[in-house]
Structure formats: structure tokens, C-alpha cells
Amino acid sequence: MVFPLYKGYYEEVYNNLYALACYFDNSEDKWVRNHFYERCFNIAKLIKADGGKKEAEAQAHMGLLFEEEGELLEAAQHYEAFHELTQGRIWKNETGQFLNLLACESLVRTYKLLSDRMLENKEYKQAIKILIKASEIAKEGSDRNMEGEAALCLGSAHLAAGEYETALRVLRRYSEIATSMGDDLNLGRAYEAIAKVLQSQGKMTEAIGYLEKAVKIARNNFQSLDVIRACTMLGDIYNEKGQYSEASEYFQQAFSASVELMKMALMDETKVHYGIARAHQMMLTMTDYIETADIDSLNCLLSWKESRTQIKYDPILGKSRRATEDDIYQYPETQEESRRTDYFLTMVSASELEKVEGCFKTNR
């Protein structure tokens, strides 16, 4: 499009159109803002005296326009042009930010969004390809935080694709970046991501070590969401290993952290995990009492049925031991937590107790 009436005044026209776009930059008038952004874009391509700075800015505005509309491929094309025009330049915007750094940030952000869509569609190779480009752009921007986040996304994509060794290499690079910056929050998240890879490889002991460090870092920095994620992962691992006491301990920590946040969805999820782990923990001893099938065991089970206290498991005596009333004790937890555990045990335990009680009556 040619603007003969504006010839010689393109830069002034651009500035006025941009001022109008800024004036209408609000949620209700975005369509007006976008109209002026498009006008700026058309005018900027005619400005030659500034070496392409106005065109670079206009490419950034058009990229934002398409990004907000969810048209990420078009947004990426404009951000790529923005990035290309600013390479090797020390241009700054009106707030003093370097345009090349803004171009890198915009391009990395858009590549991440595109990769998320690809991963949802299980297009792993395409996602990894575009995230490698994002990592390269992030390094160019000389922003270590952006470089670390790009490494996290790339490592997670390799994990989703089942490329575990590559994922570990990339994620360890992420942890190195966080360590060099003294960034505990990203270091904890790096440990969590590495643990996920190790868990997928079946290396549970190593995964536990990384997760324990992640929990410690998260607690020290008051990051409750990170505590919940890491503790839940630890609980899942111990639950799979049949170590229900440890699983119960970590699920309880996750539940307590969710209570501090007062997020009902998280509270509901974590208390279910915690209740199941407690039920598993108690069921070991319950099964032992039932299989022992003597008077003392029956009395102990009936006592538990009446009081709904926790049963202490004795892994050394196992089936050969004889239960006594001293084997039952109350955990120092809230009444509400006890009721949650009871819910998981009542249906199974009550029916089993009735069977055992019936057998004893028959034998007598």
C-alpha cells in the first residue's frame, strides 16, 4: 500500500498512529488498537532513514496482535522478523529496554506455546525441534533465567518423548544455570524435573534423593505449591514400593501444605492420597490380625472397630505374633483426619471382621 500524501512525513505519521494505538490499549478497545497497529505496520515498511527500527517495532506489535488472538504461527512469523531486524543492534524502546532482548523473549514465549500444542497432540519431534530453536534464541538474549526456562521446557519434551538420557542432560544444564545464578527456586524445580526422569527410568532411590532436596528448598523459600508437588511424588514412589508409613508421611505433608494455601481442589486431592496411604498402612496389620485368627486378634480387631484408633504394625513378629490391647494407639492427629482414614477402612474391615467373628462362633 502506497501513501503518496504522506511522502516525506512517514515517521511523523507512524508516531501519531502509534500514539493512537497506545491510547486505545485496553480490553474494550483492542480492536481499535489493532487497527492502528496495522496502519503502523504498513507505514513502517516505508521508513528507511532509521535503519529499520520502526519496522522492527511494528513487527513486534503485529506479533502481539496475533499472539493475543491465539494465531501462534502468524505471531511467530512476525516475531522472527522482529528478531532478525534487531540482531546486532543496540536499539531501545521508550522504556529503555533493548529491542533485541524483547525480540528473544517474545520469540521464546511463542515457541513454548506452540510446543505445548504439539505435545498435546503427541507431535514430540516437532515440539523438540521448535524448543531447540527456543533454547538457541534464549542463549542469544544473554538472559540466564530465560535460558534456564527454555532448558526446562526442552528437557520436559524429551521426557514426554521417552528420550530419558537426553532429558537428563538438558535438565542438568538447567540445574547448573540455576546454581550459577544462586536461584534456589529454579534449582528446586530442576531437581523435581530430574526426579521425574529418574522415576520413569525406574531409578527410585536416586529420584527420592532429588525430591527430598526439592522439598527442602521449597520449604526454605515458602513455596507451598512446590512442596505439594514434590511431597506427592515422594508419596507415590513410597506407595509403589509398599512403604506405606513413608508414603503416609509425605502425603500428610502435601495435605498440610494445601491447607495453608486454602485451595479446596488441592485439599481434596491431597487428602484422598493421604487417606489411601493411611488405609494401606493400617491394612497390613489388619490383614495380619485377621489371618492369625485367634481370640486375642479378634478382640483387638473388635476393639479397633469400636474406637477407630490406629493400629501399630510390627514387621518383626509378623504373623507369628499375638496381638494385645497395647498394640493399638492413637496417632496425635486431628479427629477429622482419623475420620477420613476410617472412611477408607470401614467397608472392607467391617465385612472381614464379621467373617472372622462368624468363624470363631462356629468353632466354639
225-273 pLDDT, tens digit per residue, is 999 999 999 999 999 998 988 999 999 999 999 999 888 988 999 999 9
Is residue 230 situated within a structural domain?
no
pTM, 2 dp: 0.76
- Give tens-digit pLDDT for 73-101: 999 999 999 999 999 999 998 889 999 99
- Give tens-digit pLDDT for 273-314: 998 888 888 887 778 778 887 888 788 778 877 776 655 544
Which of 48-62, 196-210, 244-258, 324-338 has the lowest average pLDDT? 324-338
CATH number for the domain that contains residue 74? 1.25.40.10
Q: 134 lies in which domain range? A: 1-142
The H-or-E segment that residue 310 falls in is strand 310-311
Find the farthest-apart pair of alpha carbons in the chain and give their distance in angstroms, rounded: 111
Neighbour tally for 162: CB within 10 Å: 10
Q: What is the mean pLDDT of residues 190-207?
A: 96
Strand 310-311 versus strand 328-329 pairing type:
antiparallel
What confidence score (pLDDT) does residue 142 get? 81
Q: Which of these three, 94, 127, 142, is where a domain ends?
A: 142
Is residue 216 situated within a structural domain?
no
Complete DSSP assignment for 35-61: HHHHHHHHHHTT--TTTTHHHHHHHHH
Q: Which of these three, 119, 142, 165, is where a domain ends?
A: 142
What confidence score (pLDDT) does residue 311 get? 56
Total residue length of the chain: 364
Task: Give residue 329's pLDDT band: very low, low, confident or very high (50, 70, 90).
Answer: very low
Q: Please tell me the total count of domains within the chain.
A: 2
Is residue 234 situated within a structural domain?
no
Is residue 247 situated within a structural domain?
no
CA distance 283 to 279: 6
Q: Which of these three, 110, 142, 174, is where a domain ends?
A: 142
**Residue 134 contacts residue 115 (beta carbons within 8 Å):** yes
User: Is pLDDT of 363 > 80?
Assistant: no
Is residue 207 situated within a structural domain?
no
What confidence score (pLDDT) does residue 359 get? 46
Is residue 174 situated within a structural domain?
no
Q: What is the mean pLDDT of residues 8-33?
A: 89
Is residue 361 situated within a structural domain?
yes
The H-or-E segment that residue 316 falls in is none
Q: Which residues, 6 or more positions from 308, have their beta carbon under 8 angstroms from its beta carbon? A: 338, 342
Is residue 195 situated within a structural domain?
no
- Give tens-digit pLDDT for 154-175: 999 999 999 999 999 999 999 9
